[in-house]
Amino acid sequence: MRIIMKRGTEIKLLFIALSTLLCYNCNDDDDDDDKIGNWAERSTFNEEPRSSSAAFTIGDIGYMGTGYDGDDYLKDFWSYDMNTNSWQQLADFPGVERSSATSFTIGNNGYIGTGFNGDLNQELGDFYEYNVSTNTWNQIANFGGTPRYGAVGFESDTNGYVGTGFDGDGDKKDFWKYDPSTDTWEEIFGFGGDKRRDGATFKIGTDVYLLSGVSNGILEEDFWVFDTIDETWTVLDDLDDDDDDDFIMRASAVAFSLNGRGYLACGEISGTAIPFVWEYNPATQDWIERTEFERTARRDAVAFSNGNRAFVALGRNGTLYLDDNMEFFPTEAQDDDDN
């Protein structure tokens, strides 16, 4: 059974969730054998399982902090070394504890800001820079738009960008550019897509691809690319244009790039966590389904990628918070023996 969600349809979200569960439970081993891609277990995170953390990658090191563990909002900050397969605790994030923050990198510095603290019932707009060399944090100018959570963040060689999200009054579609040389935010225009929260981005070369997310209970189907050189947006084919592309649309997924292709993994449809993984080829503009995530289906995970290696970790399935960490090999056959 396949259901496509579009604005204006009368299909209920309950049926979407039911369809997802039915299709997922009906998948058998033969279906997985037809797909390429392998997930291999890596070092489990050292501390509390969590979801909705902020993450970025610099070189061969993934950085992750903040989040929510089902009881508490968090501010601890960690690195994961891809080469030694080990985690190390770093200086705590200096702002208030939060979940659903956003992040980007500029050069060898990482940036984390915005988010939500449920204890304060407050959307947040403060932003901080992390210096990898000194393991120190510095507060920078507050985000230029309204305080929010569930936004997306990405970067060019010289600037950071943050947009979309939910600000307490509604979903957003505005985008802002951060200039570290002047410590200022400037609104940029030209995005013609829908409002959303909990979307995802991946970057290939100088192009950033924006997709997925949810607004007013409806999963977003539009797909955009942002040229970081001339700061222009171009619309691509909707995610449901190909009849074979089941379950690309979702919210709270992770996206990453690997060897010149983009990947969208896990996420949720109407509150139901899903394990489905899709690969995007920018040369052909085609989507190909890859082997499903080989651990518990999840939403609100984090991803680390240096362009040659990629990892998906943490997240939650309902009230189950997770601490596992998996590396993805998109061209290998699925192998149960490495898990």
For residue 330, being part of any structural domain is answered with: yes
Residues 6+ apart with CB under 8 A from 117: 73, 96, 97, 98, 99, 124
Q: Identity (one letter) of the amino acid at 278? A: W
- Residue 1 in any domain: the answer is no
Q: If you count them, how many residues does the chain have?
A: 339
Overall domain count for the chain:
1
Asked whether residue 282 is domain-assigned, the answer is yes
In a domain, 162, yes or no: yes
Please, which residues have CB within 8 angstroms of residue 118's CB and are 6 or more apart in sequence? 68, 73, 99
Query: Which residue, among 104, 151, 157, has the nearest Cα to 125 in the 3D structure?
Result: 151
Check residue 191 and give its pLDDT: 97
The whole-angstrom separation of Cα 217 and Cα 323 is 28
Tell whether 6 is covered by a domain: no
Alpha carbon 77 to its chain's center: 18
Residue 8 lies in a domain: no
Asked if residues 222 and 209 have their Cβ atoms less than 8 Å apart, the reply is no
Q: CATH number of the domain that 269 lies in?
A: 2.120.10.80
Amino acid at 27: N
In a domain? residue 4: no
Do the domain assignments include residue 218?
yes
Tens digit of pLDDT per residue, the chain (339 long)?
Answer: 233 333 433 333 444 444 444 444 444 444 555 799 999 999 999 999 999 999 999 999 999 999 999 999 999 999 999 999 999 999 999 999 999 999 999 999 999 999 999 999 999 999 999 999 999 999 999 999 999 999 999 999 999 999 999 999 999 999 999 999 999 999 999 999 999 999 999 999 999 999 999 999 999 999 999 999 999 999 999 998 655 555 799 999 999 999 999 999 999 999 999 999 999 999 999 999 999 999 999 999 999 999 999 999 999 999 999 999 999 999 999 988 776
Query: Residue 244 and residue 261: Cα distance in Å, rounded?
Result: 19
Place of tokens 């607004």: 215
Q: Give residue 240's pLDDT.
A: 81
* Full residue range of the structural domain in which residue 62 is found: 13-338
Integer Cα distance of 155 and 203 in angstroms: 9
